[in-house]
Amino acid sequence: MVKDKVDYKSMMRELQQLLADMQADDVDVDAALAKYERGRELIKKLTGYLETAENHITKRTLE
């Protein structure tokens, strides 16, 4: 099974859209909760992505 790789830019774009959706005046509470949870997942993935990049750069710098 091939897993689609999502890049940093795509995850940031999705997170920004979630934030915009949650700031809308007509957002449903249940929908907002689902968007909040998805946002948390994205933030965790983005943080991991940045930590991996930082480790890679640090490793390259020390070589």
Q: Per residue in 6-62, pLDDT tens?
A: 799 999 999 999 999 999 889 899 999 999 999 999 999 999 999 999 999 998 888
Q: What's the Cα-to-Cα distance from 9 to each of 23, 26, 47, 61, rounded to whole Å?
A: 21, 27, 13, 25
Residue owning tokens 């020390």: 62
pLDDT for the residue 21: 93
Give a yes or no: residue 43 inside a domain: yes
Give a yes or no: residue 55 inside a domain: yes
Domain that holds residue 39: 29-63
Give a yes or no: residue 5 inside a domain: no
**Number of domains the chain contains:** 1
Give a yes or no: residue 54 inside a domain: yes
Give a yes or no: residue 22 inside a domain: no
pLDDT for the residue 48: 95
Asked if 6 contacts 37 with a C-beta cutoff of 8 angstroms, the reply is no
Confidence (pTM): 0.80
Give a yes or no: residue 11 inside a domain: no
pLDDT for the residue 2: 44
pLDDT for the residue 4: 55
DSSP 53: H
Give a yes or no: residue 21 inside a domain: no
